[in-house]
Amino acid sequence: MQFLIRFDICCLVGSKGRAASQLLLTARVDCLSAGDRFLLQVGAVIGRKFHLRVLAAVVNSPEIDIGQSLAPMQVAQFVYRDESSGDYVFKHALVREALYDSLLSTVRAQLHLKVAKEIEKYSANRLIEVAEVLAHHFSIADQPEPASRYLCLAGRISLDTYSPEEAEQYFRQALTTYETKSRRENNSGMAKAVVGLLEALYLSGNVLETKRIAEFYIPRLEEEGPSPELVFALYYLSLMLCNLCRFREGEVKAQQALTIAEKTGDVKALAYARSCLFFILNILGQTPLETMEAMGAQLIADCEKASDKYCLNWAYFSIAWDYFTRGLESVARCWLAKLIESGRKRRDQRALGLANWALS
């Protein structure tokens, strides 16, 4: 019987009971003094969990002892203090929701902006850790430039931990923000979001979507003139054309990427453009060995200058593969041995895996 009663209550709360609970919580919130209610409203803007330092900075009332003001709210079970972190946490998500919804939208946006700036200030040395949080606050504050910038940073973090699906969502949000709110005012930021999205799609193996995004945004990037971002977009488009066995078209795009990279003088852009072109020329198999050897030497030099592990690994592999397809297996083995040596020096397990796979 006790179980059935609990089950009925859960069902009630899960449907119409949720609205009733919201009304009860709103009534409790309305019983608070104006000062206490505002304190909790600011906490609700910060999040389900909020730090005393951020709360105090946003409220900005020197005459108020924030910690002392929160004490009775703990007794009333609105919030409790997490002893391990020192943060305050709303006892129930519906409490926070009721407080948050009671704010006017304009006031809410202003508070989100204050919260974002305060978190940005005291997290200056660890922005990577709070990138997603900052993106959230700046977005609601209708600040598209910093919101998109931090969305791109969150996407880059996801790529670094090899979470391309998660990264894709961040970069898509950043692009949506640029397209709908920035009015194309920050094209450099938009370009970085495009390149991040292309990399995420490429790592996910989504050939057609990578190609579609590249072809859609490349004309926009070309309007801004030569840039590393344009080179990287052409790089991904070229690889996707190769995936579709359109090698000659891929060669044209790779050559275009290299020409633009040479104009920019960007070492990383040069490394990626040269890497792509080398790979395609190897597939086509019509370039003399001496030419490929000269290109390979320049490719390794560019990759080492760029300090890009991925591109360097791929350069060693591509050179080895070119020798292998020419029947020069002993030379190919030497280049794979160089890849192993380079990987060990850099403590890069992916280099060792790629080399051993090729050797096997």
For 51-73, the pLDDT digits (tens) are 888 999 999 877 678 888 888 88
User: 4 — phi, psi (to 5°)?
Assistant: -65, -40
Of 94, 108, 87, which is closest to residue 41 (Cα–Cα)? 108
CA distance 34 to 16: 29
CATH entry, 21-103, from 1.10.10, 3.40.91, 3.30.360, 2.40.160: 1.10.10
Place of tokens 């104006």: 34
Q: Over the stretch 251-284, which tens digit does the pLDDT of each residue have?
A: 999 999 999 999 999 999 999 999 999 999 999 9
Strands 79-81 and 88-90: antiparallel
Place of tokens 């330092």: 53
Sign of CA dihedral 224, 188, 250, 263: positive
CA distance 202 to 237: 10
Structure letter (DSSP) for residue 84? T
Half-sphere exposure of 351 (CA within 13 A, CB side): 22
Quote the percentage of the chain above a pLDDT of 90: 67
CA distance 310 to 315: 9
The burial class, CB within 10 Å (0-12 / 13-18 / 19+), for 63 is: exposed
Strand order in the sheet with 49-50: 49-50, 88-90, 79-81
Locate 138 and state its tokens: 């700046």
Q: At 25, is the pLDDT very low, low, confident or very high (cuts 50, 70, 90)?
A: low
CB contact at 8 A, 281 and 251: yes
Sign of CA dihedral 112, 118, 124, 130: negative
Residue 129 has pLDDT above 70, yes or no: yes
Number of CB atoms found within 10 A of residue 89's CB? 16
CA 250 to centroid of chain Cα atoms? 28
Per-residue confidence (pLDDT) for residue 180, from 0 to 100: 76
Interhelix angle 267-284/289-306, nearest 10 degrees: 150
Q: At 288, is the pLDDT very low, low, confident or very high (cuts 50, 70, 90)?
A: very high
- Mean local confidence (pLDDT), 212-233: 96
CA distance 190 to 184: 8
What's this model's pTM, rounded to 2 decimal places? Answer: 0.80
Q: How big is the CA angle at 338 (ends 335 and 343), to the nearest 5 degrees?
A: 130
Q: Over the stretch 75-122, which tens digit does the pLDDT of each residue have?
A: 888 899 988 888 899 988 888 988 898 899 999 999 999 999 999 998
CB contact at 8 A, 168 and 197: yes
